[in-house]
Structure 1
């Protein structure tokens, strides 16, 4: 809400007037009851689950919904009633804002061109209206490029603002909202969602319901995400340390390792283990998939020779078993039986949280860490452009952009990965510039 647009008088009028208070309660029931009943909650429970601010924002969305409704007999409206009785007490600016709220439907917007503390551009995803620039202070300091939000855009003099009931919509909430909207409007999955202003006004409770149904399950019964590598193996980090046999030299070990077509030299005494026999495996994990690739080929692990030890690092039990067999086959009696250490994702995260961030910064200067992260990302995404992507129907990005439908999928995919990187606040990858990928795929005009 823009500074100076105080709705306190309007809220007091509605909550103290018996008729309007009852109508507000009915509207709020439409916004909250489906989720509260589904999860056996009271409204007061939401503060414990969501924090103190979000229930207030959600309540504000219900209030704004009421302001756009009319009631029989006589098409009575809360804004009209308030301004008729108490409008003379309000400033010209506040009167204009309240009147604007009455006719501003809530919609789903895509955020771009953010100027922190000043403005952002919103593209309505549910209509064909042109993108609009809004002046905004606080939200522009938290939102990222390509975020999606539910909000009301209110004309305000010579510019536009947004109302106070802004809800961020992550991909899960967007999918749930769109599914609900298609059900209500009786649309097929392939039908484009385009709503009239009247349909948007009547869909206001659906925004609240979708947001709550997307967030409450994990808050009530949080489950750690299933994380796997590209082979579908559970992510469990294994480090196998092979002691060198007595008298064995680094030169002997390096010579043997260089004979394998699966190992690529990646440093003076480092090798990368590649899946050369199956570079584009179709096996995928069911949850979050984390893995690396090199030139379109999956990276299975890495080897490092230091002192009297050859260390193999992999991210699953299956790869540890395969890697041990590979090393034994190549080196034979040059190495002894390995000592193995195992860490789950949770254990690794716990270890990382106990380490001093200051110490890390002393070891690797921030500018160097940023440069290294950006170089890694560029190599990763250059490889990715020629790899099959499930979200693109198994096509590579370069293949998918050749058709109209595929081009739209690639644009959505690019926005998703760019948004996810931008949201890693404080990380070197947060400010990575993805513009080269849009240019490489001939899509630069769609990023404006």
Structure 2
């Protein structure tokens, strides 16, 4: 309760982990119904209905909240029960532990699936390792949750948790609003977080954060290619005399940065490139279009109107006297036929495969990420006003902003642990950790 930072390890040997967790929760279950019945008699049904309406999105948190957080005339149901009912020594120790627990926003900093979560309180700075067999299978590193951590005999468990978790950026917004309301830029004392009013503030801000996240999810994303053009599948068609096939190929080869692959005497495929890439510095070149020539038809596919216009102009410039331009068609890149084509192609263009990806694919992904993130610290970023992360970490506020962005990137990387990039490599590069 002093607010001092430290890590409480709540796990013994693996064989003991599950029984310890079960004992804590099972012990509470032996008297919890009596506590709630006592509260119903003291507070009345109307009070329960009122709180249930306030917590209609809070799921199972309602029961813990009603017993240990909600106050009427300055006391919770649990406090009244403990004062009026004869308790065993262990029951009294449990109620003291429940009174010491506090509601806060906890960030997951480590996960042992099926066993434990290591959590850091984003308001007080306290750290706890909790025995948790269920949530540890679904939560991932840098998830944030709102709930209570109860400690009994040096062992910690989650004791009431909101059913919704938030990603780092959304959780940071909630924490910032709570700090503003509490007028605390630094760590919030644990004693203050134990208050019922602060718990209500946290609940209100957390559910607002969930609503904001849901609203953002309803806004269709603006998809762009790496040149920043709006992503749309564009197909241009040109007709030509089949007898002029070789002549046309010779003209098209005047266009810079293309690769021609002849599949037969009357058909060929062309890949158009540009040097480098405006977003990914490690790329030597970027594919900007693909064309197929067969039986008097040249079909050009690009992923933006700008790229299509650029390549059409070059084709007409070198071969306008050979080809006759036809109609242009468009399709949504997220439309089911396009997505189905990607799924059919699978990794590497072959048939889709079941099971874990092959080692060579994992190695290729790891190599691509390593090259991409190697240049990330020196790439200008809009969230930093066009400054690079390396420039931005020179100030205290900048360091916080870069660390938050790294947490968000780390959270996204954890969606596929097999290919997740270690963001600590970037943190060391930027001097955020040793």
TM-score bracket for this pair, using the shorter chain length: 0.7 to 0.9
Distance 2:21 2:211 in 1: 30
- Of the three residues 437, 440, 443, the one matched with 2:429 is 440
- Of the three residues 185, 188, 195, the one matched with 1:192 is 185
Distance 1:333 1:96 in 2: 91
How far did 1:347 drift?
Answer: 0.3
> In structure 1, the residue corresponding to 2:157 is in which secondary structure?
strand
- Of the three residues 227, 232, 252, the one matched with 1:236 is 232
Match of 2:60 in 1: 57
How far did 1:133 drift?
Answer: 2.1
Match of 1:287 in 2: none
Match of 1:247 in 2: 245
Change in CA separation of 1:57 and 1:319 when aligned onto 2, cut-off 3 Å: farther
Change in CA separation of 1:273 and 1:158 when aligned onto 2, cut-off 3 Å: same
Match of 1:133 in 2: 129
- Of the three residues 100, 104, 121, the one matched with 2:118 is 121
Match of 2:5 in 1: none
> In structure 1, the residue corresponding to 2:353 is in which secondary structure?
helix
How far did 1:25 drift?
Answer: 3.0
Task: Give the alignment of 1:26-175 within 5 angstroms.
Answer: 28=51, 31-32=54-55, 43=56, 55-60=58-63, 62-63=65-66, 66-68=67-69, 71-72=72-73, 76-83=75-82, 88=87, 92=90, 96-129=93-126, 131-166=127-162, 167-171=164-168, 173-174=170-171
Distance 2:155 2:323 in 1: 73
How far did 1:11 drift?
Answer: 4.1
Change in CA separation of 1:311 and 1:56 when aligned onto 2, cut-off 3 Å: same
Change in CA separation of 1:2 and 1:243 when aligned onto 2, cut-off 3 Å: farther
Change in CA separation of 1:180 and 1:365 when aligned onto 2, cut-off 3 Å: closer
How far did 1:87 drift?
Answer: 6.0
Contact 1:250 1:305 in 2 (8 A): no
Change in CA separation of 1:407 and 1:338 when aligned onto 2, cut-off 3 Å: farther
Distance 2:289 2:216 in 1: 40
Contact 2:289 2:307 in 1 (8 A): no
Distance 2:396 2:426 in 1: 18
Match of 1:376 in 2: 368
Alignment deviations for residues 25-71 of structure 1 (CA, whole Å, 9 cap, x no partner): 38726944xxxxxxxxxx4xx6xxxxxxxx423424532xx514665
1:10 aligns with 2:7: no
Match of 1:417 in 2: 409
Change in CA separation of 1:399 and 1:322 when aligned onto 2, cut-off 3 Å: same
How far did 1:106 drift?
Answer: 0.9
The Cα RMSD (Å) is 4.3
* Segment drifting more, 224-233 vs 414-423: 224-233
1:322 aligns with 2:310: yes
Contact 2:123 2:175 in 1 (8 A): no
How far did 1:235 drift?
Answer: 2.9
> In structure 1, the residue corresponding to 2:246 is in which secondary structure?
coil
Structure 1, unaligned runs of 5 or more? 33-42, 47-54, 280-291
* Higher-Rg member (1/2): 2
> In structure 2, the residue corresponding to 1:112 is in which secondary structure?
strand
How far did 1:444 drift?
Answer: 4.1
Match of 2:331 in 1: 343
Match of 2:352 in 1: 360
Match of 1:210 in 2: 205
Distance 1:304 1:363 in 2: 31
Change in CA separation of 1:414 and 1:297 when aligned onto 2, cut-off 3 Å: farther
> In structure 2, the residue corresponding to 1:346 is in which secondary structure?
coil
How far did 1:142 drift?
Answer: 1.3
Contact 1:2 1:163 in 2 (8 A): no
Contact 1:71 1:77 in 2 (8 A): yes
Match of 1:50 in 2: none
> In structure 1, the residue corresponding to 2:378 is in which secondary structure?
coil
How far did 1:137 drift?
Answer: 1.4
Structure 2, unaligned runs of 5 or more? 1-19, 262-268
1:223 aligns with 2:221: no
How far did 1:397 drift?
Answer: 1.8
Distance 1:255 1:206 in 2: 67
How far did 1:393 drift?
Answer: 2.8
How far did 1:368 drift?
Answer: 3.5
How far did 1:310 drift?
Answer: 6.7
Match of 2:4 in 1: none
Change in CA separation of 1:79 and 1:433 when aligned onto 2, cut-off 3 Å: same
Alignment deviations for residues 167-222 of structure 1 (CA, whole Å, 9 cap, x no partner): 4123564255235425533x4xxx62532234323221233323333444776997
Match of 1:293 in 2: 280
Distance 1:374 1:242 in 2: 40
Change in CA separation of 1:59 and 1:274 when aligned onto 2, cut-off 3 Å: farther
Distance 1:307 1:269 in 2: 8
Match of 1:385 in 2: 377
> In structure 2, the residue corresponding to 1:226 is in which secondary structure?
coil
